[in-house]
Chain A
Amino acid sequence: MRVARFLTPLLFAAALFAQHTYTLADIENGGRLYLANCTVCHGPDGDLQPGVNLGRGKFRRASSDDELEQIITKGIPGTGMPSHDLTPQQVESVVAYLRSMAASGHSTLPSGNAARGKAIFEGKGECLNCHRVHGSGSYSGPDLSDIGLVRRTAELEKSLVDPNAEILPDNRVVHVVTKDGKEMTARLLNADTLALLVLDAQGQLHSYSKSDLREYSLMKDSSMPSYKGKLTTQEMGDVVSYMASLKGAETR
């Protein structure tokens, strides 16, 4: 689901940059492979390596798709760019994704300072009242520990300025009333034909059988306030830099 939104704005890019034609499925697959294999070094925006920007649709060492495929499969000997053990179809879809990246937006905020951003995040921004990072904070909003790996800066900016514009399927909040009258508002983790699974603000996981609920419905509006006007554009730039630096705990 996350990947889906990560890619939403990239759709038109497929039309613009198609050398071969790529389906959205190619781009989605490619996006997933990019997240799994490339963001560690190149970042979600493709601009983390000095002198390399994968997000512009222009490459120093490649112009055709075939050349890009060669670079991805074989790596660039003598540099930090490794070879990749992917099938030809997977490589094709990664290229589809790279081609699509260029057309999606970039953050308009001034470039920020992550350390200052962290202070705002934990201080006057009160972000931890709702969010969790690296094991501390609240459970009422999404855990942002690896948000820098999965969201591009333009998307982080949008979340701060206009949190209601798009609530991702992963971030939905549900209101439930049980047959014995208990009410709860909690993050919806999973819903199927027979059950609802949620995480409440206290960090308690609940599994409900739908037949035990009197009613349940999605909260239409985000509880997150807009920070437009509350933080200066520089402060927002700082917070975005901080979030872009959140890459999850080192696990290997």
Chain B
Amino acid sequence: MMGRMVHCGLFLVLLADWLPAQVTFDRILSANQEPQNWLTYSGTMLSQRHSQLTQITPQNVKNLQLAWIFQARSLEKFEATSLVVDGVLYTVQPPNDVVALDAATGRTYWVYSYSPSAKARPCCGRVNRGLAVLGDRVFMGTIDARLIALDAKTGKPVWSTQVAKPESGYALTHAPLIVKDKVIVGTAGGEYGIRGFIAAYDVNTGKEVWRFHNIPEPGEPGHETWAGDSWKTGGGSVWVTGSYDSDLNLTYWGIGNPGPDWNGDSRKGDNLYTDSVVALDGDTGKLKWHFQFSPHDEFDYDSVQVPVLVDMEWQGRPRKVMLWANRNGYYYALDRANGQFLTGKPFVKVTWSTGLDERGRPMKATTAASSPEGVLIYPGNQGGTNWYNSSYSPRTGLFYIPSWVEYNTTYYKLPVEYHEGRTFGGAALRANVGRRGATLTRLEDSEGYGAVRAIDPKTGDLKWEFKMSDVTDAGVLTTASDLLFTGGREGYFFGLDARNGQMLWKAIVGGVVASGPMTYAVNGRQYVAVAAGNALFSFALPQ
């Protein structure tokens, strides 16, 4: 008996040696085939946040229990989605400490501590949403606009590149994206009059390989959409990770709002490529196509979403589609080969626009002109959704959107001037959803609420909604066993039936879930992990 076990153990050790020790780009491309791992921010390059793991099911999810907690040594917002590589979980303790944990026990292997420069001027918290991994390296963008490569086994820096000037407002908040031998990031800072860009760095050296300017300069196409010198401070942040289609060799990125946010007087024109999705060549960063969701925006409708790529049948023929629930309140489906608009429809109440034309361009409502007297707009400044991760399930065929419903903001336009490193806004805002603390006394829908809204991506029709009392900053995860996981601001973590939105399980995590849940497996046991409050929780079925 004993002898056999030893034998068996030896065999496993041998097998483990055979497993690829390194994360190759091919492994990332086919991450769906090793669902025990979570190799890139959105699970796969298609960014569906849909896992093939099926051990946890709608029948047994009620038994889910806490496997471990990692308490961050930090009181700042914990927004990262973890990565898991062969039993090791990598996450970011805010602002910029990379932590490697045993994914089965939560015990720490190593911590890399980084102190961002005091010059960093993040508009909305010293946040970090996650990491990228390739080979034996882990990559992190920092709040003071550095890109750092670490040794995945020791946490020691291999190289560090200053991507942009933090004192001008540039910051990196999202997980980098690996494309072949490059690591791609985009800069945040649209509230400070930056000129945002997306750039690719050599994974081995940290040297910049290409750069795409989100705001075109004189001579570049699209420059004519900016009056005068306004392009110089035109904003165009990147807040979340892009996606990649290897057949087309295109990488897709959502671009943020124009600067100043709420007063467009000085920047007449459409203000390309703000509030757009851009499709860039994976090798050169050359623009293949773009689609602008909100031309000449004055309501801060960043396209701050991860492009969700789906291959589906569209009106009788197979098509490469991109699904997008935009901050501006519209849901869109685009052809991702060429950017052609396929369909679009509001997924929450929209008053700034009366509809989309046949090319998907919004028709602005005449009542929605921003003014010093104030104008009330749906959706409000945080949007119908925001950076919160949406999910697509190929099984249910539904697209799941973390939504802010019945939520508005009144914008009072103000004059605004650019001063380096200072906020560059141009309005005072007032929302019906107030700033909310540990307690909430909202009982009526008209005060705005959070929900997961499940829509049919072919029509944009609402199929079901799971309502919360408070608004939500939590992402959505779906699994191939038709489960959906999400959280909210109230301190719950929910397991829903992805087919109908029924609540099947909940855990009290006691803090705001402002991150996207993910799932992985170690030694055949499936875990669901989510950051809430200042801790990372991992749940599993009892053994």
Complex interface: chain A residues within 8 A of B372 (CB) = 15
Nearest chain B CB to A21 CB, angstrom units: 5
As a 0/1 sequence over residues 351 to 376 of chain B, the CB contacts with chain A under 8 angstroms (1 = contact) are 00000000000000000000010000
Q: How far is the CA of A21 from the CA of B444 in the complex (A)?
A: 33
Complex interface: chain B residues within 8 A of A20 (CB) = 417, 419, 422
Does A192 contact B490, Cβ atoms closer than 8 Å? yes
Q: How far is the CA of A170 from the CA of B434 in the complex (A)?
A: 12
Does B434 contact A11, Cβ atoms closer than 8 Å? no
Q: Is B506 an interface residue (CB 8 A)?
A: yes
Select one of A1, A24, A188 contacting B429, CB under 8 A.
Answer: A24
Q: How far is the CA of A24 from the CA of B414 in the complex (A)?
A: 11
Q: Is A26 an interface residue (CB 8 A)?
A: yes
Question: Do A192 and B426 form a contact, CB below 8 Å, given A21-B415, A169-B434?
Answer: no
Q: Is A235 an interface residue (CB 8 A)?
A: no
Q: How far is the CA of A12 from the CA of B429 in the complex (A)?
A: 10
Q: Which residue of A lies closest to B450 (CB)?
A: A193
Binds A, one of B265-273, B280-288, B325-333, B467-475: B467-475
A interface residues, tally (CB under 8 Å)? 35
Q: Is A249 an interface residue (CB 8 A)?
A: no
Select one of B417, B426, B435 contacting A28, CB under 8 A.
Answer: B435
Complex interface: chain B residues within 8 A of A218 (CB) = 443-444
Q: Which residue of B lies closest to A1 (CB)?
A: B434
Does B468 contact A25, Cβ atoms closer than 8 Å? no
Q: Is B412 an interface residue (CB 8 A)?
A: yes
Q: Is B295 an interface residue (CB 8 A)?
A: no
Q: Is B423 an interface residue (CB 8 A)?
A: yes
Central interface residue in B440, B468, B491, by most chain A CB within 10 Å: B440
Q: Is A247 an interface residue (CB 8 A)?
A: no
The SS class assigned to the A binding surface is mixed
Q: Which residue of A lies closest to B426 (CB)?
A: A21
Q: How far is the CA of A170 from the CA of B423 in the complex (A)?
A: 31
Central interface residue in B419, B437, B491, by most chain A CB within 10 Å: B437
Does B441 contact A188, Cβ atoms closer than 8 Å? yes
Q: How far is the CA of A191 from the CA of B422 in the complex (A)?
A: 38
Q: How far is the CA of A86 from the CA of B442 in the complex (A)?
A: 33
Does A191 contact B506, Cβ atoms closer than 8 Å? no
Q: Is A27 an interface residue (CB 8 A)?
A: yes
Q: How far is the CA of A92 from the CA of B425 in the complex (A)?
A: 14
Q: Is A119 an interface residue (CB 8 A)?
A: no
Q: Of residues 373 to 428 in B, which have CB atoms within 8 Å of A's CB atoms? A: 412, 414-417, 419, 422-423, 425-428
Does B412 contact A11, Cβ atoms closer than 8 Å? yes
Q: How far is the CA of A23 from the CA of B414 in the complex (A)?
A: 9
Q: Is A147 an interface residue (CB 8 A)?
A: no
Q: Is A64 an interface residue (CB 8 A)?
A: no
Does B429 contact A217, Cβ atoms closer than 8 Å? no
Q: How far is the CA of A144 from the CA of B437 in the complex (A)?
A: 20
Does A14 contact B492, Cβ atoms closer than 8 Å? no
Does B429 contact A191, Cβ atoms closer than 8 Å? no
Does B414 contact A174, Cβ atoms closer than 8 Å? no
Question: Do A193 and B467 form a contact, CB below 8 Å, given A15-B428, A23-B428, A24-B430?
Answer: yes
Does B435 contact A21, Cβ atoms closer than 8 Å? no
Complex interface: chain B residues within 8 A of A190 (CB) = 438-441
Q: Which residue of A lies closest to B424 (CB)?
A: A21
Question: Do A191 and B441 form a contact, CB below 8 Å, given A4-B435, A25-B429?
Answer: yes
Nearest chain A CB to B120 CB, angstrom units: 11
With A18-B415, A21-B427, A191-B440 known, 15 other A-B pairs at CB within 8 A are A1-B436, A3-B435, A15-B414, A20-B417, A21-B416, A21-B417, A22-B425, A23-B423, A23-B425, A188-B441, A189-B439, A192-B491, A192-B492, A193-B468, A218-B444
8 A–B pairs (Cβ distance < 8 Å), ordered by A: A11-B428, A14-B428, A15-B372, A15-B412, A23-B423, A23-B428, A26-B423, A170-B441
